[in-house]
Amino acid sequence: MASQAPSGYRWGLRAVIALQCLLILAFVYRGVSAPGPFGPRLPAVQGETLWLESHGSFHQFDAAGKRLQQIPLAALKLSDSPTSLQFTQEQVAWVHDDSRVHRCDLRQRLCLPVELAELDSRRGYRWVRVSDDESEIVVSDASHHRVLVYRRDAITDRYALARTEAQGMRFPNQTLQVKDAMWVANTNRHEILQLRTGPDGKTVRQQHPIAHPDLRPGRTFPFAMAQDPRGQLWVLVAGTSMQNADLLLMNPQLQPDRVIPLAAKQDPNAITLFQQHMLLTDMSNFLVRRLDLHGRVLGPFGDAAFQAELATARNQATWSRRMPALLLGSVAVLMLVALWLAWKAGELRQLRGAAWRAEPEDSPQDETAPAPVFATTTTAAKDAAAAAFAGATLPIPPGRVTMVKALPGSTRTRRRLLLATSALALLVMSALLYWIWPMFYQHDCAPGAACPAWLPYGLAVLALVPMILPMVLWRRLKALENIRIGTDGQQVQARVGNRRYQAPAHQVTCTRQQLLIGLGVVPLRLNGEALFDEALLRRDFIHRLPQMQMHNSPWSAGLLGHWWKNGGWQGRAIVIGFGALFALLAWLLVGLLVLRGLFFWLTTLV
């Protein structure tokens, strides 16, 4: 029964490791998959009804907030993250999705892409506005800092690029057509830009800054707007993260008038005028807020069924946001369980390796001596034992040089695992670079300053630099198979790759894992796995050097002590440096804890 317990612990350890791998894969899948259901966003007015997108569907509401119909995005073959929605007819919607502009017939559940020149397939945020007769399409190409105007050809019925507005643009977002002028939320220029065509056919530009003292610090980026019947412009002004925007009211002359207070945690992402009310969609908090034209907050928009769906989607999104922390916490707990199982199964004892010299009280018999021959053994076994005993006890003449070589192929399995892990890490790094790449051109590196063109490529090369480490480790593992250790009974010499180490035997320290010669470290085991024929190593090296210092502690490598005693001034400098670094880290940690305590104490006084 005693032999079954370690086996059970070992099977438990394998199960825990497999579960950890599944949790890590779930964490990676959670990171690369969609961020979960979005809340209400992309409001679009169509006649006397309102459309918006929320938790994977388009929803239509009447003036009282009653939902009339719901169309899943999957039924239209759209992704779950379109960036623009507008209606030109009762059942005709224009959607920007997957880097293309689509014209959707909702009655037939059919979306067809529209061919537009100079729009690449690179992921990016674009705001699309279409005229009522569908003769003109305006695309705010934020990542390329331009506004593209397309007009439909009456003969071919295709859209051709009429003009490009790029001068002075920095991440343009929503556009509005007001009489003969086009208003643009010029986000990173912190202004509302008016564009008019002059008598000479040239574009006349007028900048209207959105600066106001009541805006919260950092709120300087306008991105969405709507005009009320009195000609006032309602503008959402966000911070650098484009979240938790403030609501700014500008007069008909586009001068900042006042800031309408919103809750601190409110995160509006779009605004539209509907039935003499301003509607603010908040996809983070899964809410549609109604405001009257004086800025007073009214009740939420939507009927009871829609509110219930939003509550369910909000709970789902909350758990989805908590999922990474839960997965990492579970992996950490399973690591502790795996450590306990490894200890019970004897895996940790295997990692530390056996002592090179047995203590007399533990094993009075020499480790190199053969096991005693019992009466039940055969004659052949007795002869083999006698021969082994005779070979083991032959004395090695003084002054004779004996050498021990590492076992060929002793690191082959580790090298193969390292290559497989490196290939997997390269794939993960490539996927992360593909996901992060759009952020280099969708954000500025400084207010109003674009990132240098070489920056994404430089960071990509920098991200691949850590992949050099596995190659260095692979070469190091390969070099371990060529280790040579020799002695004449007085001196010790070792060669690891192109490095050679030599010292008198009494200045050499032997641990369970390493041989320490001066400042050099010669591996004898790799996490408990033998690199040498250990019986031969004991006979031809360790037992020949009784004056060699032995460190038989299971975990202590004795490295710092060896450097202090036998490393000369360089070794002592290294030990002093380690001590100073440890003292500095401890001082910083204590200082941070003291400062944190003082901060909380001062906050209680205030």
The count of other CB atoms within 10 Å of the CB of residue 315 is: 11
Nearest one of 287, 286, 280, 206 to 248, comparing CA atoms: 280
pLDDT, tens only, 315-344: 888 877 787 788 888 888 888 988 888 888
Say what the pTM is.
0.65
- Asked if residue 169 has pLDDT above 60, the reply is yes
Q: Which of 7-21, 104-118, 372-386, 521-535 has the lowest mean pLDDT?
A: 372-386
Is 397 or 339 the better-scoring residue by pLDDT?
A: 339
Please classify residue 590 by burial: count the beta carbons closer than 10 Å to its beta carbon, then call 0-12 exposed, 13-18 middle and 19+ buried. Answer: exposed
pLDDT, tens only, 223-250: 999 998 888 999 999 888 778 888 999 9
Give ∠ CA 189-192-194 in degrees, rounded to 5: 115
pLDDT band, very low/low/confident/very high, at 464 (cuts 50, 70, 90): confident
Q: Residue 394: its pLDDT value, please?
A: 61
- Asked if residue 576 has pLDDT above 90, the reply is yes
Is the distance from CB of 170 to CB of 141 less than 8 angstroms? no
Q: Residue 371: its pLDDT value, please?
A: 41
Percent of the chain surpassing pLDDT 70:
86
- Asked if residue 196 has pLDDT above 90, the reply is no
Q: Residue 358: its pLDDT value, please?
A: 64
- Each domain of the chain, given as residue ranges in start order, spans 398-427+459-555
202 secondary structure, DSSP code: P
336-343: list long-range contacts, CB under 8 Å, 24+ apart: 337/16, 338/13, 338/16, 338/17, 338/20, 341/9, 341/10, 341/12, 341/13, 341/16, 342/13
Q: Residue 312: its pLDDT value, please?
A: 87
Q: Return the exposure string of 448-459: e unless at least 16 CB atoms fall within 10 Å of the residue's CB, then b.
A: eebbeeeebeee
Q: Which of 30-44, 246-260, 436-450 has the lowest mean pLDDT?
A: 436-450
Q: Residue 121: its pLDDT value, please?
A: 66
Give the CA dihedral 493, 486, 564, 530, nearest 10 degrees. Answer: 130
Three-state DSSP state, 203: strand
Residue 176's contacts (CB-CB under 8 Å, 6 or more residues apart) are: 129, 182, 183, 225, 226, 227
466-469: list long-range contacts, CB under 8 Å, 24+ apart: 467/422, 467/425, 467/426, 467/429
- Asked if residue 583 has pLDDT above 90, the reply is yes
- Asked if residue 514 has pLDDT above 80, the reply is yes
